[in-house]
Amino acid sequence: MRLLEQRGLLPVNATPNTVAPSAAEPTSGNSLLNQVRNRASDLVVSAMDFIGVRYRRGGNNASEGFDCSGFTRHVFENSIGLVLPRRAEEQARDPSLLKINATDLRPGDLVFFNTLRATFSHVGIYVGDGKFIHAPRTGSEIRIDDMRQSYWVQRFTGARRVPQVNGSELNNNPTP
């Protein structure tokens, strides 16, 4: 619980009575454990193991550091066995990934941003509650940021879902 509170996935001092389900979650039989499972897939928990690893342009591993797409590629390959393309733009255009609306984000989805005056120039992994984990830039470390901050809102360019990550084969709300 403390780890999830520190990572911003649960309110501080959360108890089963204080953690309210989101409007999208059914309330029958909802326990704190079920809410945590819904918010943090195994992939997201795996990604959190890398918080604090330094950013390195072109980086592909924890010992040397990661860039944004190296990080997402590493997490997906090592947690679910899916090898993503190397670059953020290639990941966004991968035909095996489902395009989804920002309103339909689930933990484990890839989120893309325009940070270098180029669509899909940055990628991270959605962790829930409007937050994502990513390798931001030179001189920084892998961390969780809030997508609702104006910087990220202005730069959001799309999201993609790997069907097996969230247990569905079809996306009911595709984005054109």
Positions annotated as catalytic residues are: 68, 122, 134
- 145, with CB counted inside 10 A (0-12, 13-18, 19+), is middle
Q: Residue 112's beta-bridge partner residues?
A: 123, 158
The pair of structure tokens assigned to 66 is 């990661």
What is the phi/psi pair of residue 134, to 5°? -165, 170
Q: CA angle 90-71-57, nearest 5°?
A: 80
Report the C-alpha gap between 153 and 147 in whole angstroms: 6
Torsional sign, CA 97, 102, 104, 109: positive
Report the C-alpha gap between 42 and 159 in whole angstroms: 19
Q: Measured between alpha carbons, how far is residue 129 from residues 20, 38, 56 in Å?
A: 12, 11, 27
> If residue 20 lies in a helix (H) or strand (E), which one and from where to where?
none
